[in-house]
Chain A
Amino acid sequence: MKLNRREFVGTGVAAASTLAAPIVHAAGHGKPKVVVVGGGAGGATAARYIAKDSEGEIDVTLIEPSRSYYTCFFSNLYIGGFRELDSIEHSYGTLAAEYGINVVHDWATGVDRDAKTVALAGGGSVPYDRLVLSPGIDFVEGSVAGWDLNAQNAMPHAYKGGSQTELLKAQIEAMPEGGTFVMVAPPNPYRCPPGPYERISMVAHVLNTSNPTAKIIIADPKESFSKQALFEEGWQKHYGGMITRIGPDFGGGNVTVDPAAMTVDIDGETVNADVVNVIPAQKAGHICDAAGLTEGNWAPVVPQTMQSRMDENIHILGDATNQGDMPKSGYSANSQAKVAAMAVRGALTGSRVFPAKFSNTCWSLIETNDGVKVGATYEATDEKIAKVDGFVSQTGEDAALRKATYEESIGWYEGITTDMFG
């Protein structure tokens, strides 16, 4: 379709309301420009879909500081020894070479929403007609007493991919015989609801073979957690006695850590630990705040298009958003990215816009060939992304089904990473 802007204004069904006035292109003429900040589950998918489906009609720039993206998904399986590190590492080569995306390895430091430009740490700025932000999470300072980012080498969070995950794995493997692993679990809402508990399973898997007298303690501020019955059943079955979870009733939410002494104080009781995995409370990636797009810790969005509620020229995806019922997951971010990509193309090139459909499934591995999953479908209502239907694996399922579920997760991983990076 070769419409120019004037012809297509108002033709996009869902996006029509957002196109109150014709928009003049960033450079004043030439192709419409889309800038994507963050090359993760949301950003890489959005960049790829916009470039692929606009067939060269839109200029796409992806700003991402790292040359390699290490997925957080399956990073627990790496800790458990089920995956190699390089199998969860992905580069941006195909996005640049095959999809013609201009990949800029730099940090975005700010957004001038009036001038519609993104400032780069390395100097200069990039103009946009539409901006897509998918920066993931940052941590809420002071949410775990005694811990800050300077302590992340002593007490890693391993909640952003790559070196933190490697560090945590190395620390677990170096634990003394009969040692103690403590996880400080995060409060809601946070990235990947089953993530901490899948991690516990993988740590138990490692220790159960290499260090069976070791202990695992979870200090948890939450009453309950995702797939709890399934995890607890699996822990009992595979790792009986190794894992103790201290919930809020017993002071699991009242934690102070001392990274120098390697102690964790749980409701007045001091635990000497060998490895401490602190997963702090979370908030939208800093750039959202810097651009003035947050309310509280997260960036509110319009469900139908993933546009910021504060700026119609900016779409926000993934963990950083406050959108409603979807969990913060890679699958969700990928799903939202496709809705946003369609809306962006509709607005900039007049391509057809269909009703938004969202979905999510999160697989978790409890022990070798013991996979479980939880999922749901969602639709856009005026006030939020609302859950339509869902399912969760059942306790007591047979081994063949659990194995098939695990194998499915491997297929999903291949599928989603291909969908992100080409």
Chain B
Amino acid sequence: MILSVLGGVALVLGTAYGWTARDHRDAELAALTDRLAQVEARSASLSEQAAQVSELEAKLSELEAALVAAQEEAEAARQAALAPTPVIESPAESEPEEDTVVAVADGLEFGDPEQGKAVFGQCSFCHKIGQGAQDGIGPHLNGIFGRRAGAHEGFKYSEDMSMMGADGLTWNLETLNAYLENPKALVSRTRMNFAGLEEEQDRADILAYLRQFSASPQNIPEAAPTAQAREVELPDDILAIVGDTDYGEYLSSECKTCHQQDGTDEGIPSITQWPTEDFVIAMHAYKQKLRPHPVMQMMAGRLSAEEIAALAAYFGNLD
């Protein structure tokens, strides 16, 4: 139990080095320290729970053994008697008990929305949520529960996501949980650059957080909770540069050695169809070495503001 919780911390730290890191380093560090404290606090109560679980597990195997024995007994009795009526009392007795245990193990439940808010930090560069949230690199997530996959109007989804929606995929606790655990296992060529949340608890927490913004518009809290400071503060004249798409196309050939034009994403994130400003901010964050990835720091490091704008214009308008 404790080990798997620590694994969760490693996952978060790992993400901080990887492609999906998006927050300002300081903010990230603060969030991580915060989270570490929370995890430490939780680990105590978890070891208690672990003891309870092993107790339950022991009980379960006892019951299973009893069930098998009972079934064998019943079978033997039936064969011996050659009677048409099977003896089922014993198994019937143990079954309800077993069902309860299984239901607890498999049951999906909402976790703690406050924790979920912290976990959502990883998602918030691409996904906005709360009052006034707009689509960005990913669609906004207000009202995600009950929404059909790939169906939020005005957002350009990957082909696979649209197809899954057309085939009937609708977001609910179960489907979102599966998607967050391993996005590509559910929607194989999704454009979402995210490896997945390994920890069941993290998923339960984040889903509890998302759920708050889904009941109906009135339920959305007043203050937009993800309204964030920009990752890098850029002077307006840099944000105002209109990119030269032709130049962007040439420069993009360098990106395309790794980033696939159609948005396919396997270990290297998709960068097509990002809103221009998000693209510019992300590249300047690498250029200023605020984002950690060494290849991207190097690539962005030698691009001028004009060149970054050119790339943003080119990739933003790709079909």
Asked whether, in the complex, the Cβ of B301 is within 8 Å of the Cβ of A389, the reply is: yes
Enumerate chain A residues within 8 angstroms of B266, measured Cβ to Cβ: 407, 410-411, 414
Q: Tell me, rounded to whole Å, the shortest Cβ–Cβ distance linking A369 to chain B.
A: 11
Tell me how many residue pairs across A and B have CB atoms closer than 8 Å. 103
Q: Is A239 an interface residue (CB 8 A)?
A: no
Could you mark each residue 1-21 of chain B with 1 if its beta carbon is under 8 Å from any beta carbon of chain A, else 0?
A: 000000000110111011100
Asked whether, in the complex, the Cβ of A377 is within 8 Å of the Cβ of B302, the reply is: yes
Asked whether, in the complex, the Cβ of A342 is within 8 Å of the Cβ of B250, the reply is: yes
For chain B, residues 242 to 268, give those with C-beta under 8 angstroms from any C-beta of chain A. Answer: 246-247, 249-251, 253-254, 256-261, 264-268
> Which of the segments A188-196, A216-224, A227-235, A396-404 contacts the partner chain?
A396-404
Our pick among A359, A401, A404, A415 for the contact of B259 (Cβ within 8 Å) is: A415
Enumerate chain A residues within 8 angstroms of B253, measured Cβ to Cβ: 49, 338
Our pick among A342, A391, A415, A418 for the contact of B295 (Cβ within 8 Å) is: A391
Our pick among B11, B247, B257, B265 for the contact of A416 (Cβ within 8 Å) is: B257
Q: Is B66 an interface residue (CB 8 A)?
A: no
Enumerate chain A residues within 8 angstroms of B297, measured Cβ to Cβ: 391
Enumerate chain A residues within 8 angstroms of B256, measured Cβ to Cβ: 415, 419
Interface centre among B251, B259, B267, B301 (most CB of A within 10 A): B267
Q: Is B294 an interface residue (CB 8 A)?
A: yes
Asked whether, in the complex, the Cβ of A352 is within 8 Å of the Cβ of B267, the reply is: no
Write the chain B residue with the least CB distance to A331: B257
Asked whether, in the complex, the Cβ of B295 is within 8 Å of the Cβ of A338, the reply is: no
Our pick among A334, A388, A412 for the contact of B267 (Cβ within 8 Å) is: A412
Asked whether, in the complex, the Cβ of B267 is within 8 Å of the Cβ of A400, the reply is: no
A389 vs B259: C-alpha distance when bound (angstroms): 21
Q: Tell me, rounded to whole Å, the shortest Cβ–Cβ distance linking B299 to chain A.
A: 7
Enumerate chain B residues within 8 angstroms of A359, measured Cβ to Cβ: 254, 257, 298-299
Write the chain A residue with the least CB distance to B269: A411
Interface centre among A53, A352, A407, A415 (most CB of B within 10 A): A415
Enumerate chain A residues within 8 angstroms of B301, measured Cβ to Cβ: 377, 389
Do A411 and B267 form a contact, CB below 8 Å, given A398-B14, A403-B14, A404-B14? yes
Asked whether, in the complex, the Cβ of A418 is within 8 Å of the Cβ of B267, the reply is: no
Our pick among B18, B250, B251, B258 for the contact of A404 (Cβ within 8 Å) is: B18
Our pick among A352, A379, A403, A412 for the contact of B258 (Cβ within 8 Å) is: A412
Asked whether, in the complex, the Cβ of B11 is within 8 Å of the Cβ of A354, the reply is: no
Interface centre among B10, B247, B250 (most CB of A within 10 A): B250
Our pick among B10, B249, B264 for the contact of A400 (Cβ within 8 Å) is: B10
Q: Tell me, rounded to whole Å, the shortest Cβ–Cβ distance linking A144 to chain B.
A: 33
Asked whether, in the complex, the Cβ of A414 is within 8 Å of the Cβ of B302, the reply is: no
Enumerate chain A residues within 8 angstroms of B264, measured Cβ to Cβ: 414, 418
Enumerate chain B residues within 8 angstroms of A418, measured Cβ to Cβ: 260-261, 264
Write the chain A residue with the least CB distance to B12: A400
A342 vs B258: C-alpha distance when bound (angstroms): 19
Write the chain A residue with the least CB distance to B247: A354
Q: Tell me, rounded to whole Å, the shortest Cβ–Cβ distance linking B191 to chain A.
A: 13
Enumerate chain B residues within 8 angstroms of A390, measured Cβ to Cβ: 298
Asked whether, in the complex, the Cβ of A404 is within 8 Å of the Cβ of B17, the reply is: yes
A369 vs B270: C-alpha distance when bound (angstroms): 22
Enumerate chain A residues within 8 angstroms of B17, measured Cβ to Cβ: 400-401, 404
Q: Is A259 an interface residue (CB 8 A)?
A: no
Could you mark each residue 261-288 of chain B with 1 if its beta carbon is under 8 Å from any beta carbon of chain A, else 0?
A: 1001111100000000000000000000
For chain B, residues 88 to 120, give those with C-beta under 8 angstroms from any C-beta of chain A. Answer: none
Q: Tell me, rounded to whole Å, the shortest Cβ–Cβ distance linking B9 to chain A.
A: 10
Do A400 and B260 form a contact, CB below 8 Å, given A352-B246, A357-B251? no
Write the chain A residue with the least CB distance to B13: A400
Asked whether, in the complex, the Cβ of A412 is within 8 Å of the Cβ of B298, the reply is: no
Could you mark each residue 370-405 of chain A with 1 if its beta carbon is under 8 Å from any beta carbon of chain B, else 0?
A: 000101110100000000111100000011110110
Our pick among B14, B195, B254, B267 for the contact of A357 (Cβ within 8 Å) is: B254
Asked whether, in the complex, the Cβ of B299 is within 8 Å of the Cβ of A408, the reply is: no
Q: Is A361 an interface residue (CB 8 A)?
A: yes
A404 vs B15: C-alpha distance when bound (angstroms): 9
Write the chain B residue with the least CB distance to A389: B298
Write the chain A residue with the least CB distance to B267: A411
A49 vs B252: C-alpha distance when bound (angstroms): 12
Asked whether, in the complex, the Cβ of A410 is within 8 Å of the Cβ of B267, the reply is: yes
Q: Tell me, rounded to whole Å, the shortest Cβ–Cβ distance linking B235 to chain A.
A: 24
A391 vs B267: C-alpha distance when bound (angstroms): 19
Our pick among A334, A391, A403, A408 for the contact of B298 (Cβ within 8 Å) is: A391
Asked whether, in the complex, the Cβ of B10 is within 8 Å of the Cβ of A398, the reply is: yes
Asked whether, in the complex, the Cβ of A389 is within 8 Å of the Cβ of B295, the reply is: no
A419 vs B266: C-alpha distance when bound (angstroms): 15
For chain B, residues 291 to 317, give those with C-beta under 8 angstroms from any C-beta of chain A. Answer: 294-295, 297-299, 301-302
Enumerate chain B residues within 8 angstroms of A419, measured Cβ to Cβ: 256-257
What are 28 A-B contacts defined by CB distance under 8 Å? A49-B253, A335-B254, A335-B257, A352-B250, A354-B250, A354-B251, A357-B302, A361-B258, A361-B295, A375-B295, A377-B298, A389-B298, A398-B14, A400-B14, A400-B17, A403-B14, A404-B14, A407-B195, A407-B267, A408-B267, A409-B267, A414-B264, A414-B268, A415-B260, A415-B268, A416-B258, A418-B260, A418-B261
Q: A354-B251, A373-B294 are in contact. List 10 more A-B contacts (CB 8 A).
A: A354-B250, A359-B298, A377-B298, A389-B298, A399-B10, A400-B17, A404-B19, A407-B195, A410-B266, A411-B267
**Residue ranges of B at the interface with A (Cβ–Cβ < 8 Å):** 10-11, 13-15, 17-19, 195, 246-247, 249-251, 253-254, 256-261, 264-268, 294-295, 297-299, 301-302
**Closest 7 pairs (CB-CB, A-B):** A400-B14, A411-B268, A411-B267, A407-B267, A391-B294, A338-B253, A415-B258
